[in-house]
Amino acid sequence: MTLPRPVLLAILLPFAVLTAYALNAVGYIGIFASHLHPAGLQVLSDLVIALSLVMVWMVGDARSRGITVWPYLIATLALGSFGPLAYLLMRGSRTGAGAAPVRNWA
């Protein structure tokens, strides 16, 4: 996946503001506590599955590009989508012999 940096920043910055608002309102534990009913558990489970798949993709992509992926995996586990968004921002600026070819999925 290759998105232009402005698009990634347009996703990351409002998400950071929303996250800061939520953390200020209920705290880190409160974000998880709000998902302790059946509908919330479904959403939380879906997020865990989706981010797990993204982390598997990040590992493979980072290996093919010769990038250290551990900081982004840790960020994903601790901060959710911030890890993959930061990885995509960093990855877009890295080119080199180990870079995977860009695929046009359209």
- For the stretch 32-45, pLDDT in tens is 888 888 999 999 99
Query: Residue 94: what pLDDT?
Result: 61
Q: Please state, in angstroms and rounded to a whole number, the distance separating the CA atoms of residues 106 and 91.
A: 21
What residue ranges do the domains of the chain occupy?
5-93
CB neighbours of residue 69 within 10 Å: 19
Residue 25 CA to residue 28 CA, distance in Å, equals 9
pLDDT in tens, 65-106: 999 999 999 999 999 999 999 999 998 766 544 444 544 444
- Asked if 8 contacts 89 with a C-beta cutoff of 8 angstroms, the reply is yes
